[in-house]
């Protein structure tokens, strides 16, 4: 109820009698109050009443409106966006102190990746199964994460002798984004879907979304489209319980914690992602038979350095000297598999090729070592 502003009121337990009355209650004080004083007193009293009424209304309103508390958990959901307590004085450190700090933080990465070994192995098995059925592997990412995907995909062909179409990378913003920042490219869910749609995705394919934050719209769009196509989906992120985790069938989330430079996910998060991608592509290709012992048996000798490496690999694998290895490589048309069969089984190149074809390219089986 609105408080009364008459000449006698009680506000917060303080009694106020009629204007000009003696506080003791014995009546008016003669000779002390004139007409002007009475008028000023009335004005002050009305201002006091109006002020108290506004305060009362404010309290009533605030009591009725629910308080929206922003939980610290919600604000800090992305570990990669938090500040690292160990580096709050980063700008005051010497060069050596900064490098030592970064080195200490980097030591946590391998441990974080180790916690994801089972998930990584599941993804490797999925990649192998998909490729054996005629599928392909796609990396999808934006910014630093996208560039790591491009890097790993580019290395697969020369390292394992595979087709460049077998392992491909899509980066938000296209080729230009590999060397330059393309503003806003990662913010489009639709572009992620369209870029993958252009690849004519099939259920045999495997799509790996790389997003340090776990919230990149471009990656989310690609993974959602991949699910529609019944392709196998994998997420590589540094933040668990993010949207990307709810879309992907397999989640790989090495949580490396806050970065030395707040939010710069090219640091610990990026290193963890690179380690994961190394494991995925290398383990998958080895399981598919693109290695003999621990040697790159399908290496493409596209330059002088790689040609010399091919000779050394063949010599190591066959137990022959470098001269014999060079001769066999020339006879085989620089095919390491054929050359190794020639040296180990003591046959010519055409025979070695037939033997490999009979065993569907399985080198161990061809050599009788399976």
Nearest to 135 by CA among 273, 233, 245: 233
| Domain 304-366: CATH architecture, name and number where available | Orthogonal Bundle (1.10)
Homologous superfamily (CATH) of 99-287 is Glucose-6-phosphate isomerase like protein; domain 1 (3.40.50.10490)
CA 327 to chain centre: 48
What is the longest distance spanned by two Cα atoms in the chain? Answer: 135
Host H or E run for residue 11 = strand 9-11
65-114 tens-digit pLDDT: 343 333 444 445 788 889 999 999 999 999 999 999 999 999 999 999 99
| 3-state DSSP of 273-298 | HHHHHHHHHHHHHHHCCCCECCECCC
Average pLDDT over residues 22-30: 45
Q: Any idea which residues carry the catalytic annotation?
A: 155, 186
Over range 244-250, report the average pLDDT.
Answer: 96
pLDDT of residue 33: 52
Span 34-45, pLDDT tens digits: 655 655 656 566
Q: In this predicted model, what pLDDT tens digit does every residue of 107-155 receive, in sequence order?
A: 999 999 999 999 999 999 999 999 999 999 999 999 999 999 999 999 9
The predicted structure's pLDDT at residue 174: 95
3-state secondary structure of 190: helix
The secondary structure of residue 78, as a DSSP letter, is -
Residues 6+ apart with CB under 8 A from 326: 311
pTM of the full structure: 0.77
Q: What is the pLDDT of residue 41?
A: 59
> Residues 6 or more apart from 305 whose CB is under 8 A from it?
none
Specify the DSSP element, H or E, that contains 138: strand 137-141
Q: Give 217's contacts (C-beta < 8 A, 6+ positions apart).
A: 186, 187, 188, 189, 192
């Amino acid at each position: 109820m609105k408080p009364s502003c008459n000449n006698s009121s009680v506000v917060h337990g303080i009694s106020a009698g009629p204007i000009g009355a003696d506080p003791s209650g014995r009546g008016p004080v003669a000779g002390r109050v004139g007409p002007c004083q009475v008028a000023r007193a009335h004005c002050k009293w009305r201002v006091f009443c109006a002020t108290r009424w506004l305060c009362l209304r404010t309290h009533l309103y605030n009591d009725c409106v629910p308080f929206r508390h922003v939980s610290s958990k919600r604000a800090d959901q992305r570990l990669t966006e938090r500040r690292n307590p160990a580096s709050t004085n980063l700008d005051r450190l010497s060069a050596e102190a900064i490098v030592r700090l970064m080195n200490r933080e980097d030591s946590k990465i391998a441990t974080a990746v180790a916690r994801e070994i089972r998930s990584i192995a599941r993804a490797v098995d999925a990649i192998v199964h998909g490729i054996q059925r005629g599928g392909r592997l796609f990396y999808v990412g934006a910014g630093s994460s996208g560039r790591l995907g491009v890097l790993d995909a580019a290395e697969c062909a020369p390292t394992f002798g595979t087709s460049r179409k077998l392992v491909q990378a899509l980066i938000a913003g296209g080729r230009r984004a590999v060397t330059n920042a393309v503003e806003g490219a990662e913010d489009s869910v639709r572009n992620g879907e369209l870029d993958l749609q252009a690849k004519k995705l099939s259920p045999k394919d495997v799509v790996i979304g790389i997003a340090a934050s776990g919230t990149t719209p471009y990656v989310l769009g690609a993974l959602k489209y991949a699910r529609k196509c019944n392709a196998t989906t994998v997420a590589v992120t540094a933040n668990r319980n993010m949207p990307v985790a709810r879309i992907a069938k397999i989640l790989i989330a090495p949580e490396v914690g806050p970065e030395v430079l707040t939010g710069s996910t090219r640091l610990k998060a990026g290193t963890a992602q690179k380690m994961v991608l190394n494991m995925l592509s290398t383990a998958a290709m080895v399981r598919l038979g693109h290695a003999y012992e621990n040697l790159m048996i399908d290496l493409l000798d596209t330059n002088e350095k790689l040609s010399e490496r091919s000779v050394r690999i063949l010599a190591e694998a066959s137990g022959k000297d470098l001269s014999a290895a060079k001769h066999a490589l020339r006879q085989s048309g620089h095919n390491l598999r054929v050359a190794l069969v020639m040296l180990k089984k003591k046959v010519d190149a055409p025979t070695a090729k037939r033997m490999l074809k009979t065993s569907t390219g399985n080198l161990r089986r061809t050599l009788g070592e399976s």
